[in-house]
Amino acid sequence: EGSAATFEAQVSGSPVPEVSWFRDGQVLSAAALIPAVTLLVTAETAPPNFLQRLQSSTVRQGSQVRLDVRVTGIPSPVVKFYREGAEIQSSADFRILQEGDLYSLLIAEAFPEDSGTYSVSATNSSGRATCTAELLVQGEEPVPIKKTKMIMSAGQMEMSQTSRVERFFSNINLTRKNGSLNFHSTVNHHHL
């Protein structure tokens, strides 16, 4: 009380607005504005902050997918969803919803080509925040791989068996009788 104060305001508009100052409901004249009063008004701001970040997930083809984030900031941030760096626009297939500080991307029906890195950016006059997650959409069940058969001719089998057997036996005599392979050998002093 008793000290000087100044009130300042910055106003713009088109056409140029008329500005009047009031005290106790009465318009103040220029003479009444001196001595002046200073009032410092600051707006509270806060950069975007994720309270809930995107979560990586794996889903089946054809299922609905919901990617959620909770983000705060003053002023309220502008929130955008991206897939592989490209901004996602809200459509029938990809709906972007907001309810308070909850922002959601709804994929109506996921396909393997929807797999990838998803990110969210939240931007306001105080800053920017981003978060990312991976989405994997698994396709139809794969067809079981058939077991392969190894087919060897009698000559290949004879050579294969001979080389394995020679490691443990010496003086090998191989004979074929009625489609059977017989051998007679002296055993080397190796453990099998």
Query: What is the per-residue pLDDT for 146?
Result: 53
**Residue whose entry in the numeric block shows the structure tokens 């950069």:** 47
Cα 6–Cα 12–Cα 13 angle in degrees, nearest 5: 150
What's the mean pLDDT when you consider all of the chain?
Answer: 77
Whether the model clears a pTM of 0.85, i.e. scores above it, the answer is no
| Percent of the chain whose predicted confidence (pLDDT) is above 70 | 56
pLDDT of 11 over the 50 cut = yes
- Do 184 and 169 meet the contact criterion of CB atoms below 8 Å apart? no
Query: What is the per-residue pLDDT for 140?
Result: 74
Two tokens, residue 147: 């077991």
Query: Of 3.30.360.10, 3.40.50.450, 2.60.40.10, 2.60.15.10, which CATH number belongs to 46-138?
Result: 2.60.40.10
pLDDT of 57 over the 90 cut = yes
pLDDT digits (tens, 9 = 90+) for 59-102: 999 999 999 999 999 999 999 999 999 999 999 999 999 999 99
pLDDT band at 32 (very low <50, low <70, confident <90, very high): low
* Phi-psi label, residue 112: left if phi above 0, alpha if psi -120 to 50, beta otherwise: alpha
b/e for 96-133, b at 16 or more Cβ within 10 A?
beeeebebebebeebeeebbeebbbbbbbeeeebebee
pLDDT band at 181 (very low <50, low <70, confident <90, very high): low
What is the H or E stretch that residue 145 is in? none
What is the H or E stretch that residue 71 is in? strand 65-74
pLDDT digits (tens, 9 = 90+) for 137-177: 998 765 555 554 455 555 555 544 444 444 444 555 555 66
Q: Where are the domains of the chain?
A: 46-138, 154-187
